[in-house]
Amino acid sequence: MTGEAVRPSEVVEPEGAPQELVVAGLSVHYGGVRAVSSVSFTVGAGQCVGIIGANGAGKTSTLKALMGLVPRTVDTIRFGDRDLTKVKARNIVRHGIGYVPEGRHVFPGLTVEKNLLLGAYVRPWKGQTLETMQEVFELFPMLGEMRHRLAGALSGGQQQMLAVGRALMSKPRLILLDEPSMGLSPKLIEDILGVLQRLSAAGHGLLLVEQNAKLTFEATKTCLVMENGEVAMTGTSADLSRDPRVRQIYLGL
């Protein structure tokens, strides 16, 4: 499916057939600078794929390019039977892809509940939206307790939970997460990791960008290592965690 006209009835729901993301030949340019060079990978339903690399490796640019937020060239972006290559950013979420940006970007002057409702803007069915909000509160009980509190009054960890919950409100089949562990305590990182594992077990595809290589290897089965905008290595997370070069550069061992 291509084009921009997407009616509410065409919003992707997670109860349908499993969806696989296929990306081929993705490149990102900022002016004359190439930030990402011909990256290709797949993310299957229920699969958690990680991307690690140093600052400037092209990790965040890859996620933004998938969401249509930065200039890109690409051979293929296919999600299930839908061709998203020419779909603009405003409609990507309607096709079943959620995005948790680096830095959370919650709306500090709105309550937790209203932040979550904004995440459901593509789903005009009030009853289903409220059901989804309850599902988010089951994943993050703390958000339920703070539903009427301003998001700006939350801690960094609570805001990260809110950012993940907001992405879930559109009922995505695939979730892109950019540095979800940034600035969090070890306990909160463990909590976030547990939620990611539950989402994967429920059939969500996850694409996890992290500088925390140890966390990435724990959370994922497959991983890409990006360097200078290119995929330098790819393989199972278990194999990469044992690779001498990866252990030295990314694990400090």
Task: Tell me the C-alpha distance between 221 and 74, whole Å.
Answer: 25
State how far the Cα of 10 lies from the Cα of 3, in Å rounded to an integer: 13
- The encoded tokens of residue 19 equal 């969806």
Whole-number pLDDT of residue 9: 38
pTM: 0.88
Domain residues for the domain of 60 are 35-249
Question: Is the residue at 26 inside a domain?
Answer: no
29 contact partners, CB below 8 Å, separation of at least 6: 35, 71, 72, 73
User: How many folded domains does the chain comprise?
Assistant: 1
Report CA torsion sign: 201, 202, 205, 209. Answer: negative
Q: Is residue 14 part of a domain?
A: no
Asked if the structure places residue 159 within a domain, the reply is: yes
Q: Report if residue 206 sits inside a domain.
A: yes
Res 17: pLDDT: 54
Contact predicate 102/58, CB 8 Å: no
Domain assignment present for 148: yes
Per residue of the chain (253 residues), give pLDDT as tens: 334 443 433 444 444 555 899 999 999 999 888 999 999 999 999 999 999 999 899 999 999 999 999 999 999 999 999 999 999 888 899 899 999 999 889 999 999 999 999 999 887 666 788 899 999 999 999 999 999 999 999 998 899 999 999 999 999 999 999 999 888 888 888 888 888 888 999 889 999 999 889 999 999 999 999 999 999 999 999 999 999 999 999 987 6
Alpha-carbon gap, residue 231 to 252, rounded angstroms: 20
Reduce the DSSP state of residue 2 to 3 states and report it. Answer: coil
What pLDDT shows up at residue 101? 92
214 in any annotated domain: yes
Residue 28 resides in a domain: no
List the one residue out of 174, 160, 210 whose CA is nearest residue 54.
210
Q: Read off the CATH number of the domain in which 129 is found.
A: 3.40.50.300
Considering the domain boundaries, does residue 3 fall inside one?
no
